[in-house]
Amino acid sequence: MDSGLGGIPYCRHFCKRNPGESVVYLADRLHFPYGGRERGELIGIITGLTEQAVKIFNPKIAVLACNTASLSALARLRERFPALPFAGTVPAVKPAALASKTGKIGVLGTELTIRESYIEEIAAENGGGKIIGIAAPELVEFVEHRIFSVSAEEKIKIVQGYVDRFRAEGVDVLVLGCTHFLFLLDEFKQQASPEISVFDSVEGVTRRTESLLAGIAAEEKVEEQNGERVRKSLVLTGKAAPESSWVYWADSLGFGISLLEEELETRA
């Protein structure tokens, strides 16, 4: 689950390594973007969305493929749905802090993520270091709505602006703390090298999800699950027809595409 495109790299990575698992990618277009919302509002939105997902899809695992949503709502979701294992997505501050030589850790994220005390606490627990946080809501919008229509030069230009700000602060590690930013991972690595190392959480989230799967009965993991074929679905909230970018990603992933038209109730 994510508010938009951000979780696609995580979904793609997981599916490549686990082709026998049925997967639903649920994109909450109705409430995009999540980053500027207050914590209480976001908890209500995501809890309501999870209730719908449980009722309709009966998942055995839920992956919250959004840093903002995970930092805000993951603890509440685990309380509300104790029988459903959750894998969250949080900024890769721990490995970045351990790798930093200057003790200055750059974190690029949404407004809510940058406000979270979590990132400071994780840095303090793993060698200390100062968090240099930059909120980039405009970059989330750029990825969600323009990433397919801009030139390579424009991608580099927008990334370079953020890298220059972090470089001026003396950081030597940079955490991409929003899943949307993974669509610009190559550009960030190119512009940050060699002074700044770039960290993301794709591998860690997949490993965590696979660990949860390992705890589920073996008979539920075979390709023909309960006599049904493996299903791959991309589901969008709202009644509007899928935008061209969603059609592209559904096709590229080999997923069917459909709408969750039912009005979502929010649960505090």
- What's the one-letter identity of residue 265? E
Asked whether 51 and 267 are in contact (CB, 8 A), the reply is yes
Contact assessment for residue 15 and residue 21, using Cβ atoms and an 8 Å cutoff:
yes
Find the catalytic residue in 178, 198, 202, 253. 178
* Distance in angstroms (rounded) separating the CA atoms of residues 123 and 94: 6
Q: Establish whether 66 is a catalytic residue.
A: yes
Q: What is the DSSP letter of 108?
A: E
DSSP 195: T
* Distance from the Cα of residue 73 to its chain's centroid: 13
What CA–CA distance (Å, rounded) separates 131 from 199? 14
Of the candidates 138, 145, 73, 147, the one whose C-alpha atom is nearest the C-alpha of residue 110 is 138
Q: Kindly calculate the radius of gyration of the chain based on its CA atoms and give it in whole angstroms.
A: 18
Phi-psi region of 252 (alpha: psi -120 to 50; beta: other; left: phi over 0): alpha
Q: Which are the contacts of 107, defined by CB distance < 8 A and separation ≥ 6?
A: 91, 93, 113, 114, 119, 131, 132, 133, 134, 174, 175, 177
Catalytic residue among 11, 24, 62, 66: 66
Distant-in-sequence, close-in-space partners of 172: CB < 8 Å, separation ≥ 6: 100, 101, 102, 104, 195, 196, 197
Positions marked catalytic: 66, 178
